[in-house]
Copies of this chain bind each other. A is one copy, B any other.
Amino acid sequence: MADVARLAGVGMGTVSRALNNSPGVAEATRKRVLEVAEQLAYVVSPEASKLRPGTTGRVAVVVPHIARWFFAEMLEGVEAALREAGLDVLLYHVGGAEDRREFFQRLPARRKVDAVVAVAFPVTAAEQQRLELMGVHIVASGGQMASYPYVCIDDAEAARKAVGHLIFLGHRRIGMIAAVDPDEPGWPATLGRSEGYYQALASAGLVPEPELVRTVNWGGNEGAEAMSQLLALPAPPTAVYAHSDEVALGAIRTIRRAGLRVPEDISVIGIDDHPLAELTDLTTVHQSVRDQGLRAGRMVVALINGREAELSFTAPTELVIRRTTAPPSR
């Protein structure tokens, strides 16, 4: 009613009289009040009224990157699940480790949110404890953190599928372009995706050669640079496994610019099934990132509503053979 009064430019008493059809209100004023009231009738949102007392109806989604495909896709899934449940999404882009530390110090006490979704970065035990102390739930989306609920893929298994495919085709000199995030040296995706490479080689009886492994920051240009180094070796690999599709696409650019053909001269495989992997005919290991986001979002909703929640989910991955892998020609 205060809103109606303010917007109609009249006092509360006038609003009351206008709505109750009482005398003493000019017809034009009554009309204006009724119009404003009608507009505001949209207001009562069903979900808002369902909020449990003491909750904010908001969830913080914290991402180290927004514009990179993996993070944007994850965010889209999380947002869809939260919106479905009538919760609002507060988006926080926290870049480096320092940013994150500050975020976790400030956020919970501001009592702004009921839960935090951490997309693909680790939350320390102290930060987690602080959130819990304030009654703020936490879920990891895109990465496994044993100590709180999470959704992830089995990175080592994805890597074994990729490298296993190259071995199956007959490759023996298989390079790896490993990707790390300088802000998250311990992030498990990197470890798992490297571990799977060594596991696949070992199970085929192949001895890993350190010179065939290059480690770069995530990104296409970085993959391109690593590939230059591999091509400069006296005996370059006949196939390259990259930690992500973007890294793989960078490697392919280098190979093509060197006048070599993919897959005739060198095979390349990535991980992700980035939408442009299909467009560029890249062989890869598929993961459904949006689906992981949806599941993480639904976990959050269950936790907030005090419902029984599945506390971890490992999403499936699948080898997708396209046109960048073939048997070795030499």
Which residues does A use to contact B, with CB under 8 Å? 3, 7, 39-40, 42-43, 45, 48, 58, 61, 65-69, 71-73, 75-76, 79-80, 83, 88-93, 105-106, 109-112, 130, 133-134, 220-221, 224, 246, 249-250, 252-253, 256-257, 275-276, 278-281, 290
User: Which chain B residue lies CB-closest to A36?
Assistant: B133
- A109 lies within 8 A of B39 (CB): yes
Specify which chain B residues have a CB less than 8 angstroms from the CB of A106 in the assembled complex: 42-43, 45
Closest to A66 in B: B76
Q: SS class of chain A's interface: helix, strand, loop or mixed?
A: helix
Which of A67, A73, A93, A290 has the largest count of B CB atoms less than 10 A from its CB? A67
Interface contact B72-A133, CB-CB below 8 Å:
no
Give min CB distance, A207 to chain B, whole Å: 32
Whether A3 contacts B109 in the complex (CB less than 8 A), given A66-B72, A89-B91, A91-B89, comes out as yes
Complex copy number for this chain: 2
Q: Which residue of B lies closest to A257 (CB)?
A: B281
Give A275's nearest chain B residue, CB to CB: B220
- Inter-chain contacts of A40 with B (CB < 8 A): 109
Query: Of B42, B79, B109, B130, which contacts A109 at CB under 8 A?
Result: B42
Other 5 A-B pairs with CB < 8 A, given A7-B134, A69-B72, A253-B281: A43-B109, A66-B72, A66-B76, A69-B69, A83-B92
Question: Which residues of chain B are near A7, meaning CB under 8 Å?
Answer: 133-134
A39 contacts which of B75, B133, B246 (Cβ < 8 Å)?
Answer: B133
Which B residues are in CB contact (< 8 Å) with A66? 72-73, 75-76, 79
Cβ–Cβ contact B110 & A45, under 8 A = yes
In Å, the complex CA distance between A303 and B272 comes to 41
Q: How far is the CB of A60 from chain B (nearest CB, A)?
A: 9
Known contacts A3-B109, A93-B76; A253 and B224 CB within 8 A of each other = no
Residues of the B chain whose Cβ atoms lie less than 8 Å from the Cβ of A72: 66-69, 71-72, 75
Smallest beta-carbon distance A232→chain B, Å: 20
Contacts of A109 in B (CB 8 A): 3, 39-40, 42-43
